[in-house]
Structure 1
Amino acid sequence: MLRIAAGVELVSLVVLFTNIATVHWDGVSSLVGPAHGCAYLIVVVLAFARRAGARVGSAAMVPGFGGLIVLRLLAGSADRQPLDQRGLKSEGG
């Protein structure tokens, strides 16, 4: 869910900036703006719900790129866990 929200947050921000820089259609802004806001809030809520620490929480507050930063931080913290605490996946199945 966090990965989807982070993607929507980034893509919607790019669409909003492109719209402002080019044609500035009000319909695009009124449609994509609330979608961006919802995705941003979902990223923040999901980041704090994971209780991964202040670093992840503050990274989630960065509009537009915060979701991607959170995903990167969480992936890095999963790599540092001891092997017996990771969710090991079976190969070939």
Structure 2
Amino acid sequence: MTTVRTLRIAAGVEALSLVALLVNLLTTHTPAVSSLVGPLHGTAYLVTIAATWPAPGARWLSVVPGVGGLLALRRLKGSHQAA
């Protein structure tokens, strides 16, 4: 259950930080925002991959940049409800 909670948090941070990076890129392109949010996004991406690595059904979904954590979380919830 801790892995699912970790994945839920990391997937949310990954998706929100990607949105923040894209909004920054399309509007003001402030270097400070990129410097702060970029490493946060990368860390959330790596945590998402690490959290799903033990789950064979969701492992490769987590590698999709930006939304992979959400896809893996959806797959894990679906397989958890079916069991």
In structure 2, the partner of 1:72 is 74
Separation of aligned partners in 2, 1:71 and 1:58: 12
- After superposition, the C-alpha distances for 1:35-85 in whole angstroms (9 at most, x for unaligned) are 00000000000000xx221x411100001100100110000001111xxxx
AA at the equivalent of 1:67: G
- Show structure 1 runs of 5+ residues with no match: 82-93
Q: CA RMSD in A?
A: 0.7
Aligned to 1:52: 55
Bigger-Rg structure (1/2): 1
Aligned length: 78
Give the Cα–Cα distance (whole angstroms) in 2 for the partners of residues 27 and 52 of structure 1: 36
Greater share of helix = 2
Match of 1:23, SS?
A: coil
- Give, as a single letter, the amino acid of the residue that structure 1 aligns with 2:79: S
Corresponding residue for 1:34? 39
Q: Look up the match of 2:3.
A: none
The normalised TM-score by structure 1 is: 0.81
**Higher-RCO chain (CA-CA 8 Å, sequence separation at least 6):** 2
**What residue identity is the alignment partner of 2:78?**
G
After TM superposition, the score normalised by the length of structure 2 is 0.91
1:20 counterpart = 2:25:
yes
The CA distance in 2 between the partners of 1:4 and 1:25, in whole Å, is 26
